[in-house]
Every structure is written in C-alpha cells, then in structure tokens.
Structure 1
C-alpha cells in the first residue's frame, strides 16, 4: 500500500519518537507518568493523522477541465467541488479540507471566501502555494482547483499576453 506522503514526513515522526526516547533515558530517575501519557497521546495523534492521509491518498481522482465563457459558473462549480472535499483533523487540532481552490492573487481568494463561503484553508493564491512549496508543512495530500489558469500561467511564465492555446492531460 502506497502512502503518497512525503518520506520526510514519515522520517520526522520516526525521529521525534527516537528523540523523545533519548531525552527520557537521559534524565536521572523515573520518567514522570504525565510525560509518558503526553508522549503516547502525541504519537497516537501522529499515527491517526498518517493513517487518515493514507486512506485519503489511495483514491485520488483524475484531472478535469472546465471551460466556458465569462460568468457561466465555472468558479462556482470549483468552489462547490472544494466544499465537497473531505475534512480531516491535523495533529495540531486544526480542521482542514483535502481540496484547495488556487487563485491568481489573494484579492481574488478573499472574494471567493466572501462570495462562495470558502475558508482560509480552502482558498489561496498561486503565489502563496509557490512560497509554501505546495501548501503548509505537515498537511497531507491535497487536490487543487486552479481558477483563472490562463492568467496564472501568463504570470508564472512572464508572458506579455494570455496563452492562445492550453493543452491539459486528463487521465
């Protein structure tokens, strides 16, 4: 079974357990029961998170392309797709969605929050995703909807005009 989680994330969990064991062994005297309970609870949360991410990542859907003229409901359809995503609990206690709407800029992201009822974790700009290298650290696999993709590509590629033709693979 493939986890689709970055190996680094699994390595960090393993290293955290090793570090906690070393720290406990280095202390003189018995380990306080409260410390053990906290460590076990933290490890259980991490394991639950990884198991949930494994289950989610087993069935990622194929890509789809929505085309149409202006004001025909493409962004509304994308926002509904995001809202239909699976929500899960992060190890730090935050609830996040497995789907994200990526926009041209944060102004558009804020408009989508207001007009479509999306949360801050469900919509962002491509610039933020690029700076975060795909999303906040520690979050599991995500599915992305890209709004105004022609404008995003034009900015990413420093084009003087919008692409005249876009080719998209849809498995």
Structure 2
C-alpha cells in the first residue's frame, strides 16, 4: 500500500493544503509533526547524563507521558491546533503505528525510571540506561520514519508488544 492509497483511510473533512502543513512544520503528505518526538528526546537526553549526574533521575521522574494529541494540547507549538487536526486526517495505519511506538517508548521510559529508583549498583544502573537508550533510539528512528511516510508495508508489518518492554527490564 502506498501513501496515496492510505489517504483513502483519512478521516472525513476537507484535506488540509500540503503547503499549509509544510509552512507549519508538519509533514506535507502525512500531516504528522516531528515535534511530538521532542518529548522522547527529552527523556533520552536525561538518560544520557543520569549515570554522571544521578540527580537527573528526579527530572526523569517529572517526565509526563502523553500521546500525540495530549502532547500538542499541552504544547506551546504555534500550530498546535493544526497539528491535532492534521493528525486526525492522517492515514489510519500511520496514526496507529505512531501511537503504538509512542506507547512503547513511554512504557520503556516509565520502566527505566522505576528501575533507576530502586537503589541498584552503579554497574546495574549503567546497564539499564544503556539498554533503555538503545531501545528508545531504535523506536524513535522508526517513529520519525512513520511521520515522514516511510513505505506503508513496513509500517503495516511492524508490530511492537509489551513483551519487548518487559524483556528489556526482566533482568
């Protein structure tokens, strides 16, 4: 399935002009915004320095989960209303995959911050941080590809599960 084919699964309503989307820093074909990924980049930055500065765990504790629409509802992004409207018009397969990836990344961040507060050794803490960062960066890369309309057969065939998150923190 191509992006053009998937556009038939858009929500009702007039299609937003691609030039308007582009001017608002939204992808002109998908209508999705990379600004959503900033929330996960923030957690990644905190995790990257937590081993050198353990006080960052407190900042990580303050990180609040939010899905795409919640993120923009709380955001100061100047085109936040357009971002929400465009999200609802984006192809359903892209929205679902982006929501799955966002949920998985959120679960990974929440599990990591819980693990980092249980008083583990420095070596264990470093291992948790390294595994968490590797997983988050992989998922973030895929989320970016979804936002940019990567081939839909890749999006449709990909499937993340809670088991992956559980396995990450099983040890």
Structure showing greater radius of gyration is 1
Q: Which has the higher strand share?
A: 1
Q: So what's the TM-score if we normalise by structure 2?
A: 0.29
Q: Which has the higher helix share?
A: 2
Q: So what's the TM-score if we normalise by structure 1?
A: 0.29
